[in-house]
Structure 1
Amino acid sequence: MKLTSIIAIYALFWVMSAFLLLPFGVRTADEAGVAKVPGQADSAPAEFHPWRIVVRATVLAAVLCGLYVANYIYGWVTVDDVNLFGTPPGYEPPRR
């Protein structure tokens, strides 16, 4: 696998991780006991720490990307392992 492919896969995992981690650790103004700003949504966070999300997303994306690349190299899980519907009639697997 080329380095550019690994970087692209890491970027995809990073964006997915950042969106996945956004709701964790968020406290609303009611939970934090802070006064709300007029017009503020009830679900808006009292304090937003983007660097905390960046660090957590970076670590999670590195782990996921590492597992993906290791699976690519060692072939732990292949397409044949996740084939839930069986082989279609007339299909011949590619020769290696």
Structure 2
Amino acid sequence: MQWTSVLAIYFLFFVFSAFLLLPFGVRTHDEAGLEKIPGQADSAPVEFRPGRLLLRAAALAAVVTALFVLNYIYGWIGVEDLIVWGPDAD
């Protein structure tokens, strides 16, 4: 596998991880016990930390990409393992 392919796969996992981790660790003003600004949405976060989110997404994407590349090298899970219905190979 070429390094550019690994980089592209990492980028895809990074974006997916960022969206997956987005709702975790977010508190609203009601949960924090703070007063809301008039016109503010009830679901608006108290303190959004994009740097922390990107750091967590980068770490998760690195782990998942490493597992993906290792599976590519060693072939732990193949296409035939993912078939859950259809004709039996026996």
TM-score scaled by structure 2?
0.93
Q: What stretches of structure 1 of length at least 5 have no aligned partner?
A: 89-96
Q: Is 1:61 aligned to residue 54 of structure 2? A: no
Could you tell me how far apart the structure 2 residues matched to 1:28 and 1:82 are? 40
Unaligned runs of 5+ in 2: none
Shift of 1:38: 1.4
Question: What is the CA–CA distance in structure 1 between the aligned matches of 2:71 and 2:18, rounded to whole Å?
Answer: 23
Name 2:71's counterpart in structure 1: 71
Structure 1 residue identity aligned to 2:48: F
Structure 1 position 16, deviation (Å): 0.2
- Map Cα deviations across residues 12-59 of structure 1 (whole Å, 9 max, x no partner): 000000000000000000001111111111011011111110110000
Q: How does 1:80-95 map to 2 (within 5 A)?
A: 80-87=80-87
Identity %: 62
TM-superposed deviation, 1:75: 0.1
The 1-side partners of 2:3 and 2:87 are apart by: 33
1:7 aligns with 2:19: no
Larger radius of gyration: 1
- Please give the alpha-carbon distance, in whole angstroms, between the structure 1 residues aligned to 2:71 and 2:35: 49
Separation in structure 2 between the aligned mates of residue 81 and residue 73 of structure 1, nearest angstrom: 16
Instruction: Give TM-score, length-normalised by structure 1.
Output: 0.88
